[in-house]
Structure 1
Amino acid sequence: MSIWDFFVWFFWIYIFITCIWIFITVFVDIFRDHTLNGWGKTLWIIFLVVLPFLGAFVYLIARGRSMGERQMKQSRDAQAASAEYIRSVAAPTSPSAEIESAKKLLDSGAITQAEFDSLKTRALAS
């Protein structure tokens, strides 16, 4: 096997993986699209199964823009959910709440008076 045979083989593997990726993306988008009814989804799936390359290219041409919009909406929704989760976990606390929490730690013996004073000073500074 020469180096050129290897490059040709590598090229065809790349084309094969790219085609599979496009088909999966189109199938996922068909099921994600809420504007298509069941018959429309069925017809697109049949078209993709019978004539896969033509079906995928026609779908990308006909519905590519809405496909991108759905992808962007999903990305925005995921980012908003992530931001909401982070806000819920790392809820901003007021200085009085931080001092109260430090006081509870001091009363339970988890921290010393010097650590409490340090926490109190930091809470009041922020």
Structure 2
Amino acid sequence: MEFWDIIWLIIVSFAFIAYLMLMFMIITDLFRDRQTSGWIKAVWVLCLILFPLITGLLYLIFRGSGMAHRTAEAEQQARTQADDYIKQTAGTNSAAQIAEAKKLLDAGTITDTEFQQLKAKALA
């Protein structure tokens, strides 16, 4: 294999991987969108199969801003679920933290100001 054959293989491989990523992102966004009917989704998928490049570009032009919004919502929802799971698993819910701070206040280990700070931190 010559040098330029290797370069061409790298370029074509990169383009193919970028194409696959775009198709998977579009299909994921289609199924994430709850406002679009199933028939419209089917038409988009069919067009992606028959005319992938043109359909992909049209999808990005006409639905690109909504795509970014839905992706941001999904990421925020995943982040919230992960944070809730971590709090639940770690056993550090806010009520337990406040109760522990109250015990420290009653024992005289911390001042009322420190208790209020811990309480505000637990509720945040």
TM alignment of 1:105-116, pairs within 5 A: none
1:49 corresponds to:
49
**Larger Cα-atom Rg:** 1
State the alpha-carbon separation in 2 of the partners of residues 55 and 21 from structure 1.
Answer: 14
Aligned to 2:29: 29
Q: For structure 1, which runs of at least 5 residues remain unmatched after alignment?
A: 99-119
Q: TM-score, normalised by structure 1?
A: 0.72
- Partner letter of residue 76 of structure 2? R
Which amino acid in 1 is paired with 2:20?
I
Deviation of residue 58 (structure 1)? 0.5
Superposition deviation, residue 2 in structure 1: 2.1
SS in 2 for 1:36: coil
Name the CA distance, whole Å, in 2 between partners of 1:34 and 1:97: 48
Structure 1 runs of 4+ with >3 Å offset: 95-98
Give the deviation of 1:15 after TM superposition: 0.4
1:79 shift after superposition: 0.7
The residue type equivalent to 1:86 in the other structure is: I
Helix, strand or coil for the counterpart of 1:73? Answer: helix
Equivalenced residue count is: 103
Q: Which residue of 1 aligns with 2:60?
A: 60
Q: 2: CA distance between counterparts of 1:31 and 1:70? A: 11
Partner Cα separation in structure 2 for residue 61 and residue 41 of structure 1: 16
Percent identical residues: 25
**Corresponding residue for residue 83 of structure 2:** 83
CA RMSD after TM alignment? 2.1
What TM-score, normalized to structure 2? 0.73
Cα distance in 2 between the residues matched to 1:95 and 1:38: 53
What runs of 5+ residues in structure 2 fail to find an aligned partner? Answer: 115-124
- C-alpha separation in 2, matches of 1:20 and 1:85: 32
